[in-house]
Amino acid sequence: MKRSTLGLMICLVLSCTSDKFIDAAKYEGQEQLLTLNEFNRDGSKRQAPVIKKISPDSASVGNEFLAKIFIADSSLKITDAFYKCQSVQTPAVDTITHKVRGCTEQLLVKNDTIFIGFRPIETGLKEFPVITILTTDHDNIFRTYEYRFQYNVTR
């Protein structure tokens, strides 16, 4: 009996002295509000991930331009990617379909890499529309990050 009482007392002491976990993730039905882009789940500040791109510096008119975009941080997984997203009052993601509010134009994502391929038709310095990258972490928390890139089109 003494042993179980001592165990209970130790558990009570430890629970009183440990910091309580505050979950900053917010949900509306099956949607997660995208309020944690700059924060960890416990509310502490988070650094934005390093986003990298592999592509040629330029492309010729009519020839295919292919870009591969990925995140250098292995703790995040690219779940989906979109472009031409509209600004919304309350950004959120459907946790089942992975659709982000305001985003309709989806990009190809395979093996944690975004693939963008097209054939440019005009010469000059061009900018691809802003890409919204949807990620998940090991706790299955969704975050979005924006990415932009330019490319040069020659004859």
pTM passes above 0.75? yes
What are the tokens at 59?
């492309």
The pLDDT value recorded for residue 17 is 42
pLDDT, tens digit, for every residue of 34-56?
A: 999 898 888 889 889 999 999 99
What are the tokens at 44?
């502490």
The CATH number of the domain holding residue 28 is 2.60.40.10
The pLDDT value recorded for residue 20 is 54
Backbone angles phi, psi at 57, to 5 degrees: -70, -30
What are the tokens at 45?
């500040």
Q: Is the pLDDT of residue 96 over 60?
A: yes
CA 77 to the chain's CA centroid = 8
Give the range of the structural domain holding residue 27, as residue numbers without chain letter: 2-154
What are the tokens at 21?
């976990």
CB distance 62 to 155 below 8 Å:
no
Q: Taking the CB of residue 146, how many other CB atoms lie within 10 A of it?
A: 12
Q: Calculate mean pLDDT across residues 57-85.
A: 94
Q: Is the pLDDT of residue 7 over 70?
A: no
The structural domain count of the chain equals 1
